Structure 1
Amino acid sequence: MELRTLRYFVAVAEELHFGRAATRLHMSQPPLSRAIKQLEADIGALLFARSPTGVTLTPVGTVLLDEARALLDHADRVRVRVSAAAGVATLTVGILGDGTDPGVSRLAAAYRRRHPGIDIRIRDTDLTDPTCGLRAGLVDVALTRAPFDETTLTVRALRTDPVGVVLRADDPLARCDRLRLAELSDRRWFQFPRGTDPIWQSYWNGGRPREGPVVRAVQECLQAVLWNGTVGLSPLGHDLPADLAVVPLTGMTPSRVVAVWNEGDTNPLVRSFIEIATAAYRR
């Protein structure tokens, strides 16, 4: 299996939609579909159950997803170590969540102007590691959301966003102007896998244990709401499909957009990144 094909597969598995995965991969849908069909032929089993509204993972696809993520993480780690040994001027940035955030766009443009000769590598990560691979050495700096375990890390707050609850548009609670966490106590919430940072998990569960389907990516969260009537939290201001709605929550601590790097890291490219990020997110 080629790493490129595995990246295609992971994108479709996380988006659960070929069109959205193609957009994320910056490619057209037909070659993506052909690559997945060829991968299924090579394996000898279907990886996705297809329907007009999207796709779902088969049992074989679920097994491959875990293995593919592990292989791709290892490949990224190898690249980082080899680049460091070769002395190549690169900066690897981990991004969690919405890469279309205007703050990210302003930061990218400003960093390119300041450091035109630097090779910027982006690692788009799922929701199971809010540090985006920072502790594992996969990235130099991360754009993510707090709170999480900050041990051995340095965190710079860039912006705060109010939080709301995501519901199906036909849910009776979707007609409310505002909601309190207490009004959601009897609902199922989407969960992150075992081993996820407990501080991060607690925040997105509204501060108490919940039950519900396990998810790893933003699109999986949305699909859990759409298919199962699950609820979950999301920063306000994100575009949602027409069949979903978000209602602001009262009494909920806002979500902080932060830049994070390893404590004691003296890399001048990281320091410059933090300075530029701070300015870009103030606008």
Structure 2
Amino acid sequence: MRLLNRSTHHVELTPAGAAFLVEARQILDHVGRAAHAARNTAGSPPTLRAGIVDASYDTMPQILRAVQRRHPELTIHQIEAGAPEQYRQLADGRLEIGIGHASQPSPSVASELIRLDPLGVLVPATHRFATQDGVPVAALAEERLLLGEETQTPEFNQFVGELCGSVGFVPTVYEGTVESNRAAADLVLQQRCVLCVPASSRTSSRPGTVWRPLIEPVPLYPWSLLWRAGDPSPYVAAVIDAARQIAGRLGWLETADPPADLPGHLASSETAPAVSDDRPS
């Protein structure tokens, strides 16, 4: 059976080769998951691989700290990845839990809304918005907006685009791209653009910049926990339970619902796995 077609200039897969590659990758993924499960059941210290969108956001770190306090035996690995990559890693077993906008319905990934995060705009301290208590969304029409790298944060870019469209304009997008909120804040500081960013980002306290909430309307970015549907892991359940407790204590879901025509209103949740009485503190 021929798997490759070779010529003087290139090598390409035959249809049989392409089918073989797909199956081989699935086998390797299953082997990795089996090895991870074997290590955890053979007395090795338990581990949890948790996805985070950007190191500057405080939602998942707060949750993981609570889990770690309750389960000191657990080794937690934080893996920085955009929501699309987290979906892929959850599906193939490289992640146990993640966080992001649950905008990609998938039968293999369950989700639960845990936070409605007010969206604001980060500007230089000398910017005209800096003295305002709130910035009307329509005022962004006069600014260059920095969006995230499309392969990493397409759901956030779509959220911002739909928000601008809801008040009648298409945003002027800054042509450059960055891969972290910290790098984005550097561009804001240089007065090249402004950045829409949720309140939960610690980037909003960057010296020389000012974060102001958006109003008219008030947009709320929906953060959801993401995990493999049917995952029986007690540590995944512990993360979900800790998130519910923190959300209740800090009022993450108490903010008034956004208008029905805004993308944040579309966030949904699915049933979480059962949580034992051994709750994180």
Normalised-by-shorter TM-score class: 0.5 to 0.7
Q: TM-score, normalised by structure 1?
A: 0.61
Which residues in structure 2 correspond to 1:235-254 (within 5 Å)? 235-236=198-199, 238=202, 239-250=204-215, 251-254=217-220
Shift of 1:164: 1.0
What amino acid does structure 1 have at the position aligned with 2:180?
Answer: A
| C-alpha RMSD over aligned residues | 3.3
Gaps of 5+ in 2: 1-29, 250-281
Shift of 1:147: 5.1
Mapped contact 1:128–1:192 kept (Cα < 8 A) = no
Which residues in structure 2 correspond to 1:1-283 (within 5 Å)? 82-87=35-40, 88=44, 89-98=46-55, 101=58, 104-105=61-62, 107-125=63-81, 129=85, 133-135=89-91, 137-142=93-98, 144-146=99-101, 148-152=103-107, 153-196=109-152, 198-205=154-161, 206-208=163-165, 210=171, 211-212=173-174, 213-236=176-199, 238=202, 239-250=204-215, 251-283=217-249
Mapped contact 2:119–2:196 kept (Cα < 8 A) = yes
- Report the 3-state secondary structure (helix = DSSP H, G, I; strand = E; otherwise coil) of the residue aligned with 2:240: helix
Query: What is the percent sequence identity of the aligned residues?
Result: 21
Inter-partner Cα distance in structure 1 for 2:248 and 2:235:
20
Give a deviation string over 1:209-256, Cα, whole Å, max 9, x none. Answer: 542121211112211212243112122264422311111111132123
Q: Structure 1's 168 and 194: CA in aligned 2 closer, same or farther, altered over 3 A?
A: same
Which gives a bigger RCO, structure 1 or 2 (Cα 8 Å, sep 6+)?
2
Inter-partner Cα distance in structure 2 for 1:176 and 1:126:
32
Q: TM-score, normalised by structure 2?
A: 0.61
Shift of 1:207: 4.6
Mapped contact 1:126–1:216 kept (Cα < 8 A) = no
Equivalent position of 2:259 in the other structure: none
What amino acid does structure 2 have at the position aligned with 1:93?
Answer: A
What amino acid does structure 1 have at the position aligned with 2:177?
Answer: V
